[in-house]
């Protein structure tokens, strides 16, 4: 089927979202977030997030249909994030989507949220090149993927051996007293500071470890080094140079991510790098990727901020790819998978 109309539903973490995509065109896009309810706890509370999904599900889906001037009978298929994510949150979205599919007699696709983050770039840049590399940087994932075919074949080229970049930012943000999620605060303060003020380690880039793990990442050393440095300053009674810390941290992380990703492109002969995930909203990473990409003749496709953070369009877009490619829908009893591996595209 060409130009399928797909309703995408997302509920992996703290966003309840729904969107309609026709082919590679975004028709409607609705996001409700429970982020404010978690801020005072310093992280997402699964129980609160699940309740928020249960409340927002029907209003969000009906608004997405309404904005598209459609009813459920107009869609060709429903796609929903089946993982990875918080189990209780996934259960709400998947159960709701299954009920809609069953009542309307529509095929349903349980898709991988992380692959959705890279699929969404097609709404802005068009179809994928046939064989390409993708850098995924979200709250829970930092990985370099080889995308042979976004509907059938994705391999992991490299991944973080410990913390994800987003996790590392969120933890340091907490030390600096920023509310959850801390990433955007580090971004903002980093723009005001000196990126070379503090020496922040660049994990797995030097010597033997660097050679053994050319495309893997490690951010726990970064986190520890910055935490120790802050403690040292505090113990000495010095004022904490927040802007400089943020700038140095952001520069170090962006440099490692961009350098490894672009080297991967050269190694795999990819003239394009697809970038996705909530952390790709980070301004220092965006600038660094475009800079290193230009130096090496790699076109970097980073979506606009609205499509970087969790949304329903990414789910609908991957669903549209699956329908168009003739991939079989998921079984009506498909499970959720909170630790879904990155080489699983749909269940």
70: its two tokens: 């459609």
Minimum distance, C-beta of residue 117 to Zn ion, in the bound complex (Å)? 6
Report whether the peptide linkage leading into residue 84 is cis, meaning its omega lies within 30 degrees of zero.
yes
17: its two tokens: 């979202």
Minimum distance, C-beta of residue 138 to ligand KG4, in the bound complex (Å)? 3
d(CA 144, CA 227): 27
Minimum distance, C-beta of residue 55 to ligand KG4, in the bound complex (Å)? 20
One character per residue 305-324, x = contact with Zn ion (rule: CB under 5 A): -----x--------------
Using CB under 6 A as the binding rule, the residues of this chain from 49 to 108 that contact ligand KG4 are: none
d(CA 234, CA 139): 28
Please choose, from the candidates 81, 77, 12, 79, the residue with its C-alpha nearest in 3D space to the C-alpha of residue 44: 12
Relative orientation angle of helices 165-175 and 183-190, to the nearest 10 degrees: 80
Interaction of residue 319 with ligand KG4, rule CB under 6 A = no
Using CB under 6 A as the binding rule, the residues of this chain from 117 to 176 that contact ligand KG4 are: 138-140, 166, 169-170
Name the residue nearer to Zn ion (CB basis): 23 or 83. 83
- Residue among 6, 13, 26, 97 that touches ligand KG4 (CB under 6 A): 13
Minimum distance, C-beta of residue 61 to Zn ion, in the bound complex (Å)? 19
Minimum distance, C-beta of residue 13 to ligand KG4, in the bound complex (Å)? 5
Interaction of residue 279 with ligand KG4, rule CB under 6 A = yes
Residue 240 parent element (H or E) = none
- Residue among 112, 248, 309, 321 that touches ligand KG4 (CB under 6 A): 309
Please choose, from the candidates 154, 80, 70, the residue with its C-alpha nearest in 3D space to the C-alpha of residue 118: 154
Using CB under 5 A as the binding rule, the residues of this chain from 114 to 153 that contact Zn ion are: 138
d(CA 222, CA 199): 10
- Residue among 277, 293, 319, 329 that touches ligand KG4 (CB under 6 A): 277
Report the partner that residue 181 touches, choosing among Zn ion, ligand KG4, none (CB closer than 5 to 8 A by kind).
ligand KG4
- CA 191 remoteness from chain centre: 22
Beta-carbon contacts of 256 under 8 Å, excluding residues fewer than 6 positions away, are 202, 203, 204, 205, 217
Name the residue nearer to Zn ion (CB basis): 216 or 310. 310
Minimum distance, C-beta of residue 26 to ligand KG4, in the bound complex (Å)? 18
Q: Which stretch binds ligand KG4 (CB under 6 A): 154-162, 184-192, 194-202, 319-327?
A: 184-192
Name the residue nearer to ligand KG4 (CB basis): 184 or 335. 184
Name the residue nearer to Zn ion (CB basis): 244 or 310. 310
- Residue among 4, 8, 181, 312 that touches ligand KG4 (CB under 6 A): 181
Minimum distance, C-beta of residue 235 to ligand KG4, in the bound complex (Å)? 28
Please choose, from the candidates 253, 190, 255, 187, the residue with its C-alpha nearest in 3D space to the C-alpha of residue 218: 253
Q: Which residue has the tokens 């994928």?
A: 128
Please give the C-alpha separations between residue 209 and each of 41, 144, 215, 217, in angstroms, as whole numbers: 37, 17, 11, 10
Q: Answer for the pair 138, 117: CB distance below 8 angstroms, yes or no.
A: yes
Beta-carbon contacts of 87 under 8 Å, excluding residues fewer than 6 positions away, are 46, 336, 338
Q: Using CB under 5 A as the criterion, which residues of the chain lie in contact with Zn ion when the complex forms?
A: 138, 310
Q: Using CB under 6 A as the criterion, which residues of the chain lie in contact with ligand KG4 when the complex forms?
A: 13, 138-140, 166, 169-170, 181-184, 186-187, 277-279, 281-282, 309-310
């Amino acid at each position: 089927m060409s130009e399928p109309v797909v309703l995408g539903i997302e509920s992996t973490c703290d966003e309840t979202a729904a969107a309609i995509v026709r082919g590679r065109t975004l028709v409607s896009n609705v996001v409700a977030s429970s982020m404010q309810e978690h801020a005072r706890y310093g992280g997402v509370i699964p129980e609160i997030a699940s309740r928020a999904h249960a409340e927002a599900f029907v209003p969000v889906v009906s608004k997405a249909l309404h904005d598209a001037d459609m009813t459920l009978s107009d869609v060709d298929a429903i796609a929903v994030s089946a993982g990875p994510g918080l189990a209780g949150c996934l259960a709400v979205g998947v159960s709701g989507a299954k009920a809609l599919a069953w009542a309307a007699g529509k095929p349903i696709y349980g898709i991988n949220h992380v692959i959705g983050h890279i699929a969404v770039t097609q709404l802005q840049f068009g179809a994928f090149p046939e064989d390409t590399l993708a850098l995924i940087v979200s709250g829970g994932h930092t990985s370099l993927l080889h995308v042979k075919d976004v509907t059938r074949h994705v391999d992991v080229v490299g991944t973080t051996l410990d913390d994800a970049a987003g996790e590392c930012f969120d933890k340091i943000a907490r030390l600096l007293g920023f509310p959850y999620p801390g990433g955007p605060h580090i971004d903002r303060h980093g723009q005001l500071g000196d990126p070379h003020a503090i020496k922040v380690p660049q994990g797995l880039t030097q010597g033997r470890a660097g050679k053994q793990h050319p495309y893997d990442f490690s951010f726990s050393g970064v986190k520890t080094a910055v935490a120790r440095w802050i403690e040292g300053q505090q113990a000495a009674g010095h004022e904490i140079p927040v802007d400089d810390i943020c700038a140095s941290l952001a520069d170090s992380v962006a440099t490692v991510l961009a350098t490894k990703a672009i080297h991967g492109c050269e190694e795999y002969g990819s003239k394009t790098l697809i970038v996705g995930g909530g952390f790709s909203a980070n301004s220092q990473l965006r600038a660094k990727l475009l800079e290193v990409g230009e130096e090496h003749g790699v076109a970097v496709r980073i979506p606009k901020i609205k499509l970087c953070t969790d949304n329903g369009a990414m789910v609908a877009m991957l669903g549209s790819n699956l329908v168009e490619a003739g991939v079989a829908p998921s079984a009506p009893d498909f499970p959720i998978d909170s630790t879904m591996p990155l080489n699983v595209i749909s269940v």
